[in-house]
Amino acid sequence: MEITQSNSVDIAIIGGGVAGCTAAIALSNSYNVALIDKLSEPVERVGECLAPAARRIFKQLGLLDEFEKKINEIHQRNNGMQSYWGSKNVQIVDPLRNPDGFGWQLNRKEFESFLRKKAVERSPNCFWSYQLFQCKFENEHWVLTFASTNEISKKKVIRAKFVIDASGRQSHFAKKIGVERQSVDKLISIWATLTNEEISTLSTISASQSGWWYTAPLPNKKRIMAFQTDSDLIEHAQLKTKEAFINLALCNEQMKTILEKSKNSIQFNGIVAANSTQLKQVTGQQWAALGDAAISFDPLSSQGMFNAMANALQLTDLLTEHQIIFQPNSEKTNQFQREYSEQVNQIWKHYLHHKRIFYSQELRWSNSEFWKRRR
């Protein structure tokens, strides 16, 4: 027997990652919000360096004190980055001159759990283990059907005046209503975790012939190691096994030094998409896309989570300023859509500009396809 539960809300947010939770926390002061995620709880994932400017967002959300209490207990300070980029010589960037102070090396799973908990405290309508299944627009509302990821026969229907797609790079809602996504490149990340045996607390970036390596200490005496390259430039066998990953890492001087001490502890986690992508339209009829669902960045920028949080606050401000949830009219809606699209577009252009500058600083492998594509 099929069991269907229904809810009616002002705003439905699809995706309870960093973007969706931040939006839910900010919007629930003024609106009746539903937050829905397909996962029962956050999972371990790559992407742990949170930019110092996120401090301002925590403050605005009223979460700074609580988050900072967790720094030593769960997360750790980011003490800066050393890079082997453009030359064999190391360059060090530390956070001492950053007006926002230091950033963080997060325990990503715990961080997402923290945001989920804060969203639950502020909104009674948080539903985990529900995946978007169908969406239709009728009588000036979106009617969203979610399928339970635990029980096949269980469904949830949410009627909402406005939908926020915060479902990450897949942008499930936007895709379902026919909005296309464009990719600038084919970057992927192959990643592993290992025991941290290093004394240095700096993160490391090291360019190589067909991509670049990243490694950084994580909380709990762990370390992340990841290789970024284009999906069509690497042998598929090299993507699939721990042994192949280790062999690739041993070709890079800095990774080799680290692996010599901790090779046996390596846990290979596989491949994830890391390309720069943009939704061709980030807002439309009573909906908007947020975070990675709107634009996704190359991990070189280390800005994805910060952008997701900042983007959530920008969207909250615009929705409140234009009052398009409670008193909609076409003039206000058009104005909202124009301003939101413009804001996202500005971030995207700025990001592409800086991405080009960073990649064009590496000139050592003039015949390498990976680097040629980026100059």
Ligand X SMILES: Cc1cc2nc3c(=O)[nH]c(=O)nc-3n(C[C@H](O)[C@H](O)[C@H](O)COP(=O)(O)OP(=O)(O)OC[C@H]3O[C@@H](n4cnc5c(N)ncnc54)[C@H](O)[C@@H]3O)c2cc1C
Q: Which stretch binds ligand X (CB under 6 A): 31-39, 155-163, 205-213, 319-327?
A: 31-39
Site for ligand X in 318-357 (CB under 6 A): none
Residues 174-203 that bind ligand X (CB under 6 A): 189
Determine, following the binding rule CB under 6 A, whether residue 172 of this chain makes contact with ligand X.
yes
Using CB under 6 A, pick the residue from 305, 310, 318, 325 that binds ligand X.
Answer: 305
292 binds ligand X, rule: CB under 6 A:
yes
Q: Which of 249, 274, 295, 347 binds ligand X (CB under 6 A)?
A: 274
Q: Does 272 bind ligand X (CB under 6 A)?
A: yes
In whole angstroms, how close is the CB of 187 to ligand X at the nearest point?
8
Q: Least distance (Å) from ligand X to the CB of residue 360?
A: 21
Which CB atom, from 129 or from 286, has the smaller least distance to ligand X? 129
Q: Are 11 and 191 in contact (CB under 8 A)?
A: no
Rounded distance between C-alpha atoms, residue 93 and residue 82, angstroms = 6
Our finding on whether 17 is near ligand X (CB under 6 A) is yes
Name all contacts of 134-139 with Cβ < 8 Å and 24+ positions apart. Answer: 134/176, 135/163, 135/173, 135/176, 135/177, 137/285, 137/286
| Site for ligand X contains 315 (CB under 6 A) | no
Does residue 201 contact residue 79 with C-beta atoms inside 8 Å?
yes
Q: How far from the centroid of its chain's Cα atoms is residue 184's Cα?
A: 17
Distance of CA 352 to the CA centre of its chain: 17
- Residue 114, CA atoms < 13 Å, CB-side half-sphere: 18
SS3 content of the chain, % helix, strand, coil (to 5): 40, 30, 30
The reply to whether 36 sits near ligand X by the rule CB under 6 A is yes
User: Of 37-45, 90-98, 115-123, 193-201, which segment contacts ligand X by CB under 6 A?
Assistant: 37-45
Q: Which of 12, 15, 213, 324 binds ligand X (CB under 6 A)?
A: 15
**103 φ, ψ (degrees, to nearest 5):** -100, -160
Can residue 125 be called a binding residue for ligand X (CB under 6 A)? no
Q: Does 132 engage in binding with ligand X (CB under 6 A)?
A: yes
Give whichever of 246 and 293 is closer to ligand X, judged by the CB atom. Answer: 293
Judge whether 265 and 279 are in contact, CB under 8 Å.
no
Q: Which of 28, 76, 148, 303 binds ligand X (CB under 6 A)?
A: 303
- Alpha carbon separation from 44 to 113, 193, 269 (Å, rounded): 11, 11, 10
Residue placing its CB nearer to ligand X in the complex, 109 or 332: 109
| Start-to-end Cα distance in the chain | 58
Q: Determine if 168 is a binding residue for ligand X (CB under 6 A).
A: yes
Distance CA 182, CA 43 (A): 27
Which residues make up the interface to ligand X (CB under 6 A)? Answer: 14-20, 36-39, 46-50, 131-132, 166-168, 170, 172, 189, 226, 272, 274, 291-293, 299, 302-306, 308
